[in-house]
Amino acid sequence: MERAVPLVVPLGQTEVFQALQRLHMTIFSQSVSPCGKFLAAGNNYGQIAIFSLSAALSSEAKEESKKPVVTFQAHDGPVYSMVSTDRHLLSAGDGEVKAWLWAEMLKKGCKELWRRQPPYRTSLEVPEINALLLVPKENSLILAGGDCQLHTMDLETGTFTRVLRGHTDYIHCLALRERSPEVLSGGEDGAVRLWDLRTAKEVQTIEVYKHEECSRPHNGRWIGCLATDSDWMVCGGGPALTLWHLRSSTPTTVFPIRAPQKHVTFYQDLILSAGQGRCVNQWQLSGELKAQVPGSSPGLLSLSLNQQPAAPECKVLTAAGNSCRVDVFTNLGYRAFSLSF
Amino acid sequence: MSSESGKKRKPKVIRSDGAPAEGKRNRSDTEQEGKYYSEEAEVDLRDPGRDYELYKYTCQELQRLMAEIQDLKSRGGKDVAIEIEERRIQSCVHFMTLKKLNRLAHIRLKKGRDQTHEAKQKVDAYHLQLQNLLYEVMHLQKEITKCLEFKSKHEEIDLVSLEEFYKEAPPDISKAEVTMGDPHQQTLARLDWELEQRKRLAEKYRECLSNKEKILKEIEVKKEYLSSLQPRLNSIMQGLAVLPRLECSGTIWAHCNLRLPGSSNSSASASRVAGIIVTQAALELLASSDPPASASQSAGTTGMSQGTLAASLPVQEYLFMPFDQAHKQYETARHLPPPLYVLFVQATAYGQACAHMKSSQPPRQDKTLSVAIEGSVDEAKALFKPPEDSQDDESDSDAEEEQTTKRRRPTLGVQLDDKRKEMLKRHPLSVMLDLKCKDDSVLHLTFYYLMNLNIMTVKAKVTTATELITPISAGDLLSPDSVLSCLYPGDHGKKTPNPANQYQFDKVGILTLSDYVLELGHPYLWVQKLGGLHFPKEQPQQTVIADHSLSASHMETTMKLLKTRVQSRLALHKQFASLEHGIVPVTSDCQYLFPAKVVSHLVKWVTIAHEDYMELHFTKDIVDAGLAGDTNLYYMALIERGTAKLQAAVVLNPGYSSIPPIFQLCLNWKGEKTNSNDDNIRAMEGEVNVCYKELCGPWPSHQLLTNQLQRLCVLLDVYLETESHDDSVEGPKEFPQEKMCLRLFRGPSRMKPFKYNHPQGFFSHR
């Protein structure tokens, strides 16, 4: 851990403000560029920073290369979610989704390519967008968030084609079942809903908090994270992190961790999860904890696996959360260094 | 006849009555039961018309009977007597009837009279009433006409025209929406406005009167002074008699001017001219005496000039022109060491510039910055006597150091203490700067010059206009030691700014200057800059020379900083006084930042030591970020609501309020929650620390700390009220939701609605 030595250099007004801003920064989202060499991270002040993974991982990396290549103000509110297509970076947060060209972003003064707002029913507060999901087969984007609905946007034309209604509270997360065009969504109301994209109908509902094995009423019923592997689904949040068999909709494994989890993903034959607490957890499917790798943030909100085939040397796991740092794990058991805003 | 009628009466009555039964009974009543027959009552029952008929008939009968009797009598005969008797009886009966009728008539008459009388009386009464009513009517009519003829005073008042009224009157008087339609209200409003304006004018009039009075008095006093000037001027003339021609002519000119007829304004101009000329003379004398190299003749002039000035002293005094005083100060200033001299000159110049900018009044009366020199001139002079051989030793400290060691060589075994004292010796003269703030609190700064170290130090003292009675346990905000700490970032005044000093210290065994700072004053960097001393870090210079331009470029910003520092410290002082009593003193102009009802309240506000702060488990982030230096002040606040206790560790930067206080939180409620295990606590910290600009309030935002604390109370309310209720736990929620929120949670980290929207009063997400 190469924590910066506490500077006792007294600071002026702007320095203090910047220090405080960094101190209270939360990185909500990450996305790796299609070339695999850059990582974008979005924070609670609406800024997006682009880090160069290749420079930071190279042998002659200096302290400088762990700083962002470029930082720009993307949104007015927090950047809750980002995804990358093969040319664009899509970012969303305060009710709008914006597209940026990866090729131009590294230049100064980058302007967004386009911006879209889903058709909201008018309300006092603009609902936020918590999750973005690309559906490559039909070249569309699914947005979900504060208005309790899933909006499908056609990336070709930029029009909103479908609205999927069913959730009774806002939606935290989305996951795509690769084989059949089905989407899973988990929300604050404690339900995981399975949607068929062809018919735009709700196929299945799992109310996780009603199952005694995983319900934890003192934490609430919200579903904070969701990942799927066609037949299997893992979800966590207020209820315990649980592996489900989708076809029979029964919980098979309850993972023994107390802290609510905010991000979960399948990786090879492992499940990686992160949430409240400093560690990235690695689980066997059977429910055994394989490893807990400590990071530098007190709480983690997002994990990102760089698996772009274009840059095999940049194959890393990055984790970010309640700090201005993005932890980089070169292999799963070891935190190599932190990128910092 | 009467006896007959008495005998026949009763049957007649009965007959004539027409109601024999009743008459009988009546009679029997009167006889038997002592009740008497009432003829009056009978009258009412009889018809007068018929009575009249009866009367006529009876009279005819009587006439007939009389005629028959006469006829019979004249005929005569035997049976005539019987017939006559019979007739007589009949006529007697008729007489009776007549009598009865007569009585009845009498009674009727009486009754009629009575009635008439009664009616008359009634008529009289009615008449009287009528009279009264008529009178009343007349009176009322008179009143009405009087009322109609009444003229309100206001009609005589010449009001401003309607358009003008609506244009000029303030809306609380004009009330356009009410008065536009209602002429009565309108007139009232206009009258109100008239009254208001008249009141103002009256006030103005009074002011003018008092002003006039004052001015008259002043004129009087000035006249007196002018009249008493004559003898004094004479004495000056005598003194000047020996002086060069120029000065004499000047003074004489002044003299002439003064003898002008003393009208009020000309006397003022005269006095000014006189002052200018006297000063001119004095300055010229000074100029001539300036080069010290000039010979005895010039010395003589100086002596003489001093004599002249002494003689003109009373004049200056009378004219409120303390040129001599100023001159004396300048004279003393010549003995100041170069850095103090630079400071003195620049500060004086700045002070005068400020005073001139602020008002065209005589600049000496109300200035915010006053400069003075303290200390004994003689000692300073004594200091300058020997250095004829080594001129530069006051700037070149190394040389001085060598000199002292040389001088001390014979007694090399002397204690180090003496050497240290010598090293830290101050120049006997010091410059006093008094900086006055708007609220009449004064910052006294005393600048010293350490001759051997070639640095300047400052001691500060704050005096307030009103005595601060409340004992403050929370820190020494106004203590001379800390009040000026970190005026510029990092300038804590503990280390010597002159790099050369370290070597000097090594020689005499001083570790750091900070041990002596209390006694000597703080050698802040800005003090050196005000004195024109600049110590470059990179290339050490051999000699550092006091530089005017450096001092001038720093003077204004430093003075402004000093002023804001004092004001912000006083504001903090005030806030602490109420915070200690658990009151968060939110001012009315910041009220809009918070909802009306705040349940959480401040319980404790105490100062804590720096070390204690560093050891708190929830302040690690701040320490790591380097925001917890030892120059800051540290406090602990405790906010409570029900069973929930929120601890807040506060770092107060000396640069408050441009640098905000920093809060770290720890909530004790259903377990301990800090920013590392609760995102919402982290968000609350962010709200007060990062979004502090919303809480600044009106410039210069001295209320920031109070507002941050109040905001923290509001945040705690929101946090507790929106905490999701655990269904498995029995019983009601401890904190029912009273705040209006659009949504309870938002975003991946499930933030609570901490942002307060002012006029609508609801909470939303940032």
Find chain B residues with C-beta within 8 A of A125's C-beta.
Answer: 742-743, 764-765
Q: Which residues pair with B659 in a beta bridge?
A: none
Q: Which residues pair with B649 in a beta bridge?
A: B636, B664
* pLDDT score at B474: 56
pLDDT band at A137; cut points 50, 70, 90: confident
CA–CA distance, B320 with B340 (Å, rounded to integer): 28
Provide the sign of the torsion angle of the four alpha carbons B219, B220, B221, B225, taken in this order.
positive
Task: List the one residue out of A84, A44, A75, A90 whose CA is nearest residue B748.
Answer: A44
CA–CA distance, B368 with B515 (Å, rounded to integer): 34
Nearest-CB residue to A125 (from B631, B686, B765): B765
The residue of chain A with its CA nearest to that of B489 is A12
Taken as a whole, chain A contains a residue count of 341
Find chain B residues with C-beta within 8 A of A224's C-beta.
Answer: 748, 750
* pLDDT score at B33: 47
Find chain B residues with C-beta within 8 A of A146's C-beta.
Answer: 743, 746
**Shortest Cα distance, chain A CAs vs residue B589, angstroms:** 25
Across the interface, do A24 and B690 touch by the CB < 8 Å criterion? yes
pLDDT band at A92; cut points 50, 70, 90: very high
Question: Considering the domain boundaries, does residue A2 fall inside one?
Answer: no
**Shortest Cα distance, chain A CAs vs residue B614, angstroms:** 12
pTM, two decimal places: 0.67
pLDDT band at A103; cut points 50, 70, 90: confident
Find chain B residues with C-beta within 8 A of A23's C-beta.
Answer: 621-622, 625, 627, 689
Q: Which residues pair with B616 in a beta bridge?
A: none
* pLDDT score at A43: 93
Determine the structural domain holding residue A121 and report its residue range: 27-262
**Shortest Cα distance, chain A CAs vs residue B488, angstroms:** 8
Across the interface, do B624 and A4 touch by the CB < 8 Å criterion? yes
Across the interface, do A23 and B631 touch by the CB < 8 Å criterion? no
pLDDT band at A129; cut points 50, 70, 90: very high
* pLDDT score at B529: 83
Across the interface, do B743 and A322 touch by the CB < 8 Å criterion? no
SS3 B372: strand
Neighbouring residues of A114: CB distance < 8 A, sequence distance ≥ 6: A98, A99, A158
Question: Considering the domain boundaries, does residue A223 fall inside one?
Answer: yes
Residue B725 or residue A182, greater confidence = A182
Task: List the one residue out of A104, A93, A140, A60 whose CA is nearest residue B749.
Answer: A93
Across the interface, do B748 and A4 touch by the CB < 8 Å criterion? no
Which residues of B make CB contacts under 8 Å with A?
486, 489-490, 492, 621-627, 629, 631, 653, 655, 658-660, 662, 675-677, 679, 682, 685-686, 689-690, 724, 726-729, 742-743, 745-750, 762, 764-766
Across the interface, do A172 and B748 touch by the CB < 8 Å criterion? yes
* pLDDT score at B540: 53
Find chain B residues with C-beta within 8 A of A11's C-beta.
Answer: 489, 626-627, 659
Q: What is the DSSP letter of A195?
A: E
* pLDDT score at A302: 92
Interface test with B, best of A8, A15, A16, A262 (most B CBs within 10 A): A16
* pLDDT score at B321: 57
Q: Tokens for B553, please give them.
A: 């470029």
Number of domains in chain A: 1
Q: What is the CA radius of gyration of chain A?
A: 20
Find chain A residues with C-beta within 8 A of B745's C-beta.
Answer: 170, 188, 222
- Dump pLDDT digits (tens) for B457-506: 888 888 876 666 565 655 667 777 777 877 787 777 777 788 778 788 88
Q: Quick one: what percent of chain B has pLDDT higher than 90?
A: 13
CA–CA distance, B162 with B193 (Å, rounded to integer): 11
Find chain B residues with C-beta within 8 A of A147's C-beta.
Answer: none
Question: Checking DSSP bridges between strand A223-229 and strand A38-43, what pairing results, if any?
Answer: unpaired
SS3 B259: coil
Across the interface, do A20 and B690 touch by the CB < 8 Å criterion? yes
Interface test with B, best of A3, A11, A170 (most B CBs within 10 A): A11
Interface test with B, best of A5, A7, A13, A23 (most B CBs within 10 A): A23
Q: Residue B374 CB: number of other CB atoms within 10 A?
A: 13
Question: Considering the domain boundaries, does residue A312 fall inside one?
Answer: no
Across the interface, do B682 and A22 touch by the CB < 8 Å criterion? no
Cα of A257 vs its chain's centroid, Å: 20
**Shortest Cα distance, chain A CAs vs residue B442, angstroms:** 26
The residue of chain B with its CA nearest to that of A172 is B748
Q: Quick one: what percent of chain B has pLDDT higher than 70?
A: 74
Query: Residue B749, class by beta-carbon neighbours within 10 Å (0-12 exposed, 13-18 middle, 19+ buried)?
Result: buried
Find chain B residues with C-beta within 8 A of A19's C-beta.
Answer: 625-627
- Dump pLDDT digits (tens) for B630-648: 788 889 999 999 889 999 9
Cis ω before B700 (30° cut-off from 0): yes
Q: Tokens for B548, please give them.
A: 């005017």
Across the interface, do B745 and A172 touch by the CB < 8 Å criterion? no
* pLDDT score at B367: 62
Find chain A residues with C-beta within 8 A of B617's C-beta.
Answer: none
- Does pLDDT of A253 surpass 80? yes
For chain B (766 residues), the mean pLDDT of every run of 10, in chain order, is 40 41 44 60 81 89 87 78 84 88 88 92 95 95 92 80 82 78 84 90 96 95 87 76 49 43 43 46 44 38 46 56 70 83 86 67 56 82 58 42 45 68 83 82 87 84 71 66 78 78 79 76 84 69 69 84 85 85 86 88 89 88 83 89 91 84 90 88 90 83 89 92 70 79 87 88 86
- Dump pLDDT digits (tens) for B34-85: 556 677 777 778 888 888 898 899 899 889 888 888 888 887 777 778 888 8
Nearest-CB residue to B627 (from A4, A19, A172): A19
Nearest-CB residue to A21 (from B623, B690, B747): B690
CA–CA distance, A203 with A67 (Å, rounded to integer): 46
* pLDDT score at B331: 79
* pLDDT score at B627: 83
Task: List the one residue out of B112, B105, B7 whose CA is nearest residue B52.
Answer: B105
Question: Considering the domain boundaries, does residue A47 fall inside one?
Answer: yes
Find chain B residues with C-beta within 8 A of A130's C-beta.
Answer: 747-748
Across the interface, do B626 and A6 touch by the CB < 8 Å criterion? yes
Find chain B residues with C-beta within 8 A of A172's C-beta.
Answer: 748
Question: Considering the domain boundaries, does residue A245 fall inside one?
Answer: yes
Find chain B residues with C-beta within 8 A of A277's C-beta.
Answer: 677
Across the interface, do A78 and B747 touch by the CB < 8 Å criterion? yes
Question: Considering the domain boundaries, does residue A20 fall inside one?
Answer: no
Task: List the one residue out of B673, B646, B642 whose CA is nearest residue B736.
Answer: B642
* pLDDT score at B198: 92
CA–CA distance, A261 with B720 (Å, rounded to integer): 23
Find chain A residues with C-beta within 8 A of B524's C-beta.
Answer: none
Across the interface, do A6 and B622 touch by the CB < 8 Å criterion? no
Question: Considering the domain boundaries, does residue A271 fall inside one?
Answer: no
Q: What is the mean pLDDT of chain A?
A: 88
DSSP readout, B430-465?
A: EEEEEEE-TTS-EEEEEEEEETTTTEEEEEEEEE-S
Question: Considering the domain boundaries, does residue A112 fall inside one?
Answer: yes
Across the interface, do B764 and A125 touch by the CB < 8 Å criterion? yes
Interface test with A, best of B675, B677, B687, B690 (most A CBs within 10 A): B690
Nearest-CB residue to B621 (from A8, A23, A44): A23
* pLDDT score at B211: 95
Cis ω before B749 (30° cut-off from 0): no
| Interface contacts (A, B; CB < 8 Å) | 113
Across the interface, do B724 and A23 touch by the CB < 8 Å criterion? no
Nearest-CB residue to A26 (from B728, B729, B749): B749
DSSP readout, B698-724?
A: STT-TTHHHHHHHHHHHHHHHHHHTSP
Nearest-CB residue to A188 (from B490, B621, B745): B745
* pLDDT score at B36: 66
Q: What is the CATH number of the domain that holds A119?
A: 2.130.10.10
Nearest-CB residue to B748 (from A4, A28, A276): A28
Cα of B181 vs its chain's centroid, Å: 36
**Shortest Cα distance, chain A CAs vs residue B487, angstroms:** 10
